Structure formats: C-alpha cells, structure tokens
Amino acid sequence: MRVLSTQVVLCATSAFYRVLIICSVITFLLPTQLQAQETPADNWSQFRGNSRLSGVSESRVPADIKLLWTYDAGDSIESSAAIVGSTVFVGSQKGELTSLNLDDGSVYWKYKIDDPIGESSPAYGSGVVFFGDLAGWLHAVNASDGKKLWAYKTGSEIKSSPVIVGDRVLIGSYDENLYCVSTRTGALIWKFKTNGPVHSTPGIYNGMALIAGCDEQFRGIRISDGKEAFSVSSEAYTGASPAIRGDAAFYGTFNNEVLMVGLTDHRIGWRYQHPQRKFPFYSSAAVTSDRVVIGGRDKLVHGLDLSGKGVWTFTTKARVESSPAVADGRVFVGSNDGKFYVLNLSTGAKLWEFTAGAPLSASPAIAKGRIVIGSQDGKLYCFG
C-alpha cells in the first residue's frame, strides 16, 4: 500500500487562536502490471502521454536504440499506444484493442468489436481502458482481463482520443460534439455542440477542456458544467490537438501555420509559418521548456523556440502526420515514408532511423526506456 504524505493545513481563524486541521489522503496500490500515472517515466497512459498533451516523457531511453520486438495486429494501426506499468494497450483497424506485455510483446488479451479503431488512442485510469471507434462508440474495458464494462454511442465516428479527469472521461466526435460521460457508468454528464467535427483530443487546463476545432475555433469548455469559457478564432481548419505548457497552448492548422494561444489573455501570441514550404500541419506538437516540435505535410519535422522562431527542420521523404514524442533530449517520430526517426532535440540532427516499410502515421508512446509505435501495415514496434 502507498500512502501519500500527510497534508497539514493551519487555519488562523482569529487573532486569539488557531485551529489545526490534519488531512490524510490514502491511496491504494494498483496491481503491479497496471500502476496509475504517478510516475511519468514509467507511464504513457493516454494520447500524448498526459492530459496537457505535451508529448514529453521523463523516461531515460538507451543511447543505442534497438528493435526489441514486433507484434502483428493484422490491420493498420493509426491509434497511438498507451503504456501503463509493464502493459501496452493499442487499437487497430481490425477492430481490436490489444493488451500486450511491454517486455516481450506477448498478448494478454484482445477486446474485439464490430468496427475499426482509427486514430482514437486508448486512455487508462483506475483499472479501466477507454477508446473510441469509427462507428461512434466510446468503450470502457476492464484493463486486467479485457472484459467490457460499458459503451456509449455518439452520433458519428470518433477519431478524438479520450482524456480522463477524475470521474469523467472527455472525448470528441464527428457529430460535432465534445462529450463528457461518467467513467463509472458511461452515463452522459454533458455535451457541447461546436460547428464542425471534433477531431481534436481535449487538453486539460485549469478546469477546462481545450479543443482546437474543425470549425476554426479554439475553445475552452468548463469541465464542471460543459459551458464555454472562451473562444479564439484560429482562422483555419484544425485537425491537431493542443499541447499545453504553462499558460499557453500550441497547435498547427490547415492554413500552414503553428499558433501559440495565451490561456490567460485568450489571444494568439504568435504564428509560425515556414518561409518557403506552405503545407498543413496535421501532427500534434510536443512542447518542452525550450522547443515546440511538430510534423508537417511538407515532409518536414519543425523545431521552434517558445517565441515561435524556427530553429531547425529535418527533411523526410513523405508527410509527417505522426505526432513527435520527446524524451532524454531526443525527438522520436514516424513518417509516411515508412521510417522511424530519432533526432537531436536542440539541433534536429538525425541520430538514428529504422525502416518499417509502411507509413508510420501513429504517434510514439514512451515509458520505462521503451518506445512503442504502430504502422499502417499492422505492425507494432517496440524499441529500447
């Protein structure tokens, strides 16, 4: 059993006396295989690793990276994996959510459905795995045995990934709504109507769900009641999800720009556009203390500083729709040219590459010194 530190709160109620309040918070240990998200280096529990969608892991990755194992899912993997403890969860177009051993790729269980799983990546919380499918269902599955707990039907396909906030799970649908449902029962708590498909995975900031919309609006929706807190015009269709660092959100648009939006003043702080190559950004950004890294349909990986100035680019041979992940001073990203690249975070220099032979549009997951990424020919690769 793990017990969090006792929190002692001293409340001065008058000039004459104080009341001492001691609050002890106790949590219980989950099964070893399926530990919760307390240790960032050991868990990549949802799309982009965390609820701020930063795409950054504290995991230490070996200097000399090697292919450790491969799993054949039988159909295209566009969903990014989740890693919790020693378990990998990944969805495929075959209509299967698969649970595998991180160490050797052996299969624990498969949860089979009638429809393909597209880009909706699994999210883990409190012993449950959530994901969406292309028929519009949000599924909740027992993480230990793969048994169905419940499913909630939206009005159209789901490509957004679920994000867990307490006892609520948030997810977008192509029926133009952002949904908030109970993690326990799957009952609808609220839904927020936009003016276009909600492809974006919501990022979480100060009690709000942030979505960059296909209706050209960047919105903050209160998680408590589903009401809009603010809206900023992106002036462009957006397929990417926002990465949040400090009081700023970063995302690319189909107007060939990367935007920074201030989350306190609700204004666009800067816009980045490559001086020559004008192509959309579909990839979601990774954001560190000094870099914004994002893939473009211009076949480039772009490295910017936090002021929006381009620092480096790395050229691939096809679109980069994979969302980069960052760990240990390195960038890990797939390309539709069928290669998996490892780049220097500061300079963009190539450090290593692996030829998968099929487009890699899924995004890497990183935990426990391992990198897991799927390809469009159904292969799931684990490097370390």
CB atoms within 10 A of CB 333: 29
pLDDT in tens, 270-306: 999 999 999 999 999 999 999 999 999 999 999 999 9
pLDDT in tens, 58-69: 999 999 999 999
Alpha-helical (H) ranges within the chain are none
Please give the pLDDT value at position 32: 34
**Cα–Cα distance for residue pair 36/45, rounded to 1 Å:** 8
* 3-class secondary structure, 34: helix
**Of 163, 195, 161, residue with least CA distance to 177:** 195
Please give the pLDDT value at position 40: 60
Widest Cα–Cα separation across the chain: 75
**Cα–Cα distance for residue pair 287/244, rounded to 1 Å:** 7
Name, in order, each residue with C-beta under 8 angstroms of 265's C-beta and a sequence gap of 6 or more. none
Q: Which amino acid is at 149?
A: L
Q: Is 49 left (phi over 0), alpha (psi -120 to 50) or beta?
A: left
Extract the tokens encoding 48: 């982009």
Extract the tokens encoding 354: 């692996």
Please give the pLDDT value at position 21: 29
Integer-rounded Cα radius of gyration of the chain: 20
Please give the pLDDT value at position 3: 32
Q: Is 350 left (phi over 0), alpha (psi -120 to 50) or beta?
A: beta
* 3-class secondary structure, 164: strand
Please give the pLDDT value at position 210: 98
End-to-end alpha carbon distance in the chain: 30
pTM of the model: 0.89
**Of 286, 371, 322, 252, residue with least CA distance to 79:** 322
In the predicted model, residues of the chain with pLDDT beneath 50 are 1-39
Q: Is 289 left (phi over 0), alpha (psi -120 to 50) or beta?
A: alpha
**Cα–Cα distance for residue pair 348/331, rounded to 1 Å:** 8
